[in-house]
């Protein structure tokens, strides 16, 4: 074989070898949606696995003009702050190879809270049963102090007004003890728990003070509502 042919063969070999060494074997392409998913997953990992059902993570949509990103290595994700996060956190997605790019993705962090809502329309004076109620998750900043989180608190109480299906139920819309109800009066005297029958003279919900009448003695008492058709008095 001539020296010229050998020289050409070795030149081609070294050219192909050099291209093999410097060119990536595989470059992953990331769409805008995939970059957003990476950011959301990263924020979820930082927050930890505890009670993931009580939060909602959403990435803000990236500008439609942003092209797909290509990276030969795994992108590096960083956040400038540590948990707990505010309602929005910025994630930097960075590629450190020859492409050398970075993309910022904004992720909304919404904390959720359970709220009791009517699962069907309730008429004024209707006795509330389990099938009338359901729990939904709502953003905490939309949940008011008077909203309830436990359906069992309401079972057996009565609605004081019409309540529409899907709307939250609050204590001022119901009475656990309603005026004219027969109630059970509990009192503790010298360590003994005494029970008596009474008549409610006012509406009341859990923890409220109302006036009740002892049926046997006729005495008017100030009592605290402690459940459906149940009150306690301090003697």
- How many independent structural domains does the chain possess? 3
Task: Output the pLDDT for position 85.
Answer: 86
Distance CA 220, CA 88 (A): 56
Task: Output the pLDDT for position 181.
Answer: 94
Span 148-166, average pLDDT: 93
Q: CATH code at 187? A: 2.30.30.760
Distance CA 206, CA 172 (A): 11
Does residue 60 fall inside a structural domain? Answer: yes
Does residue 10 fall inside a structural domain? Answer: no
Does residue 12 fall inside a structural domain? Answer: no
pTM listed for this prediction: 0.66
Does residue 17 fall inside a structural domain? Answer: no
The region of weakest confidence among 57-66, 77-86, 218-227 is 77-86
Does residue 18 fall inside a structural domain? Answer: no
Does residue 19 fall inside a structural domain? Answer: no
- Out of 2-11, 41-50, 60-69, give the one with best mean pLDDT: 60-69
What range does the domain containing 117 cover?
113-175
The DSSP string of 34-76 is HHHHHHHHHHHHHH-SS-GGGEEEEEPPPPTTPPPEEESSPPE
């Amino acid at each position: 074989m001539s020296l010229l042919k050998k020289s050409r063969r070795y030149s081609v070999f070294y050219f192909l070898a050099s291209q093999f060494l410097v060119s990536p074997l595989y470059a992953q392409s990331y769409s805008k949606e995939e970059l957003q998913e990476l950011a959301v997953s990263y924020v979820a990992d930082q927050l930890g696995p505890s009670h993931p059902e009580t939060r909602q993570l959403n990435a803000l949509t990236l500008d439609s003009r942003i092209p797909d990103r290509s990276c030969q290595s795994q992108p590096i994700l960083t956040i400038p702050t540590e948990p707990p996060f505010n309602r929005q956190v910025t994630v930097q997605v960075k590629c450190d190879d020859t492409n050398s790019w970075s993309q910022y993705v904004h992720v909304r962090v919404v904390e959720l809270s359970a709220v009791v809502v009517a699962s069907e329309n309730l008429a004024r004076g209707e006795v509330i049963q389990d099938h009338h109620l359901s729990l939904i998750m709502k953003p905490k900043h939309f949940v008011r102090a008077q909203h309830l989180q436990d359906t069992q608190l309401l079972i057996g109480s009565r609605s004081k007004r019409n309540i529409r299906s899907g709307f939250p139920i609050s204590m001022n819309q119901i009475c656990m003890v309603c005026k004219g109800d027969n109630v059970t009066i509990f009192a503790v005297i010298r360590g003994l728990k005494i029970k008596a029958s009474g008549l409610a003279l006012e509406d009341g919900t859990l923890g409220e003070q109302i006036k009740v009448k002892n049926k046997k003695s006729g005495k008017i008492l100030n009592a605290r509502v402690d459940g459906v058709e149940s009150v306690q008095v301090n003697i």
